[in-house]
Amino acid sequence: MRHPCMTCGACCAHYRVSMHWMETDAAGGVVPHALTEAFGPHQAVMRGTWEAQPRCIALDADIGRHSRCSIHPVRPQPCRDVQASWEHGAASPQCDKARSAHGLPVLTTADWARSISVVLVEAIDVPEPPPAAAPMAVASLQA
Ligand code: SF4
Ligand code: SF4
């Protein structure tokens, strides 16, 4: 099992994602302004998250199977603030609520244990290095 967020995406299709308009690149920030819409005099929201059935325009996902934020390096601050449950030792009500709304089980500490074990297996399972030069070849170079 990989990082649980990579097979989820529920929070990106559950909450309204609002930010101060200064976070958009039209005002000196980094969030693509074209992917937002005005929300009151000082705020912007990610397009799609202000719908009856929210789904962020930047979300590339099949909820519960695979998920990717297409603007991950420049995503808004509220997205950075959401914690996945038990990633840092505590349950996250936002994560739990979003997953439950999409019919997914809430994360437990066991999910992170499985995630770490996969990383370790991938780290161990590296290709063998090529064999060293044959002794005869070394000897002939030295001669
Ligand atoms: S709901 Fe939780 S597990 Fe799912 S993407 Fe959001 S933070 Fe990650
Ligand atoms: S910007 Fe990215 S992280 Fe934030 S709600 Fe949209 S898809 Fe999710």
Residue range 89-111, pLDDT digits in tens: 999 999 999 999 999 999 999 99
Of all ligands present, the nearest one to the C-alpha of 31 is: 2
Q: In the predicted model, what is the mean pLDDT of the chain?
A: 87
pLDDT tens for each residue of 28-60: 999 999 999 999 999 999 999 999 999 999 999
Identify the residues whose C-beta falls under 6 Å from ligand 2: 12, 17, 46, 56, 58-59, 69, 71, 75-76, 79
Whether the per-residue pLDDT at 5 is higher than 90: the answer is yes
SS3 at position 36: strand
Identify the pLDDT of residue 98.
98
> Do 57 and 47 contact (CB within 8 A), yes or no?
yes
